[in-house]
Structure 1
């Protein structure tokens, strides 16, 4: 279903009860950080990438890792993020999301924009997913590793790594494969891959996806994995918030049909009966969400 009044009310109630977890993707930073396709094409030109899929960042990064040295694409990613600098976040969803009572923010982004938006009103901590075993060599772990999140001291959890820890980044094809293998391991090994308190939070929360495109395989794999986590417990309402598919993703004049198909794909194939969608800009959505939540609180539950 679309995010109608009933859907809004359900979402606001879950947030107010502390049972909603935002999952934030690259689209939330799109007005500031260069997109994956743009970076991929730039790097492909620099390294004379020989294949046609020069917009695929994971594949271009894998090529660079092979022809140069393994850490080079991650260094290039950190250079790209550093070039962005300390910019104003006013045109992004972050300032609006920071004002909502979320104890946990999950993101597949490498940057620190969520933490920056939370300060100084709140005191966030950072942790990242341990999808590889490099910490057995590198002992400098994030201070948020033992942090217990609260609204005043939220945890920002980076599923695909965080810029301050270069080896934590999931960037190349090989990284994504290793990430998926780690995610699929039995529960004895998953305790290192995903913190137990993060799994518990996911199982007891509505998931609020912001800044993803439905056609993105990164999102589809992530969505399916998190839905399985939820189904392991009592399933909560899930709300996927997406950008409208661009003209480069759908046939001319077929946006509405593409939206209907993608919604059916997620609700039926992944068995999520309570999925609602907001088709529009991520910043516009975050602003409306905050306004509606403030009105909801003033009116009482």
Structure 2
């Protein structure tokens, strides 16, 4: 049975959906390792050797430094690989639930456009928000898709290497300001994230500090949620202290588990 606070937030248009790479993995899109392998090939390194020189973000930063901080040829590879004509978005039950569900605001750290494509496929009006100029055009009756790590329509918006990730984690860009404003009065549901991902852990920490700084009480604070396929009592305790409830599926296969969870949530529209 779903958490009652989650259901109430969902039914009352009070739930922000925050989507990570696990959702794109459902479509068999390239992961970070494959991306770094392409970078190694372009720089004429052996894949296995290149991987010993640093973590993914460091290696991506090295690539950018060798290309005057431009994505260069990699951008075309990414766009092509992430948007293969072989993908049929109507076959993804996860994307169907996202598109037809009651999610007026969707945030994502994914580069791909499959969330937007699914909304279009299911005739859901939407607005993609990549930078501050897009914020001015927001309409209340249109689903917002906020792309925190950028979009291929603007190479400069892509968060790829160490520097851009550090800037992202400063949490003070126009999109961050929008997110802070949105989440102060709404619950947030995080799907497609690993609890070992330091980016998302830091985000939870900063959101907790933000709420405590802007409120004298904890009773009116909207609860946020993170979906997981495996129990983790350590992370559950830490997350609870930061106002985030962990929802654990009985199904261990990630795609099947997320599909089942979203199906149960969306049927309560």
Q: How far, CA to CA, are the matches of 2:156 and 2:55 in structure 1?
A: 21
Q: How far, CA to CA, are the matches of 2:99 and 2:21 in structure 1?
A: 17
Alignment-derived partner of residue 13 in structure 1: 8
Q: Is the 2:71–2:155 Cα contact (8 Å) retained in structure 1?
A: no
Q: Tell me the SS of whatever aligns to 1:23.
A: strand
String of CA shifts for 1:191-211, please: whole Å, max 9, x gaps. x35354x43321111110010
Alignment-derived partner of residue 217 in structure 1: 198
Distance 1:102 1:193, change over 3 A: closer
Task: After TM superposition, give the deviation of residue 56 of structure 1 in Å.
Answer: 3.2
Q: Does 1:277 align with 2:247?
A: yes
Task: After TM superposition, give the deviation of residue 222 of structure 1 in Å.
Answer: 2.4
Alignment-derived partner of residue 125 in structure 1: 127
Distance 1:275 1:101, change over 3 A: same
Aligned length: 253
Alignment-derived partner of residue 25 in structure 1: 20
Q: Tell me the SS of whatever aligns to 1:213.
A: coil
Distance 1:215 1:77, change over 3 A: farther
Q: How far, CA to CA, are the matches of 1:162 and 1:102 in structure 2?
A: 20
Alignment-derived partner of residue 263 in structure 1: 236
Alignment-derived partner of residue 57 in structure 2: 58
Distance 1:290 1:54, change over 3 A: farther
Unpaired segments ≥5 residues, structure 1: 131-140, 245-255
Alignment-derived partner of residue 80 in structure 1: 78
Task: After TM superposition, give the deviation of residue 285 of structure 1 in Å.
Answer: 2.3
Q: Is the 2:126–2:143 Cα contact (8 Å) retained in structure 1?
A: yes
Distance 1:13 1:92, change over 3 A: same
CA RMSD across the alignment: 2.7
Distance 1:77 1:283, change over 3 A: farther
Q: Is the 2:239–2:246 Cα contact (8 Å) retained in structure 1?
A: no
Task: After TM superposition, give the deviation of residue 66 of structure 1 in Å.
Answer: 1.9
Q: Is the 1:230–1:236 Cα contact (8 Å) retained in structure 2?
A: no
String of CA shifts for 1:6-65, please: whole Å, max 9, x gaps. x53321221001111110001100133111123223423542276654683311111111
Task: After TM superposition, give the deviation of residue 175 of structure 1 in Å.
Answer: 0.7
Alignment-derived partner of residue 248 in structure 1: none
Q: Calculate the TM-score normalised by the size of structure 2.
A: 0.81
String of CA shifts for 1:145-177, please: whole Å, max 9, x gaps. 421343xx2010011111211101111101112
Alignment-derived partner of residue 156 in structure 2: 167
Q: Is the 1:36–1:57 Cα contact (8 Å) retained in structure 2?
A: yes
Q: Calculate the TM-score normalised by the size of structure 1.
A: 0.73
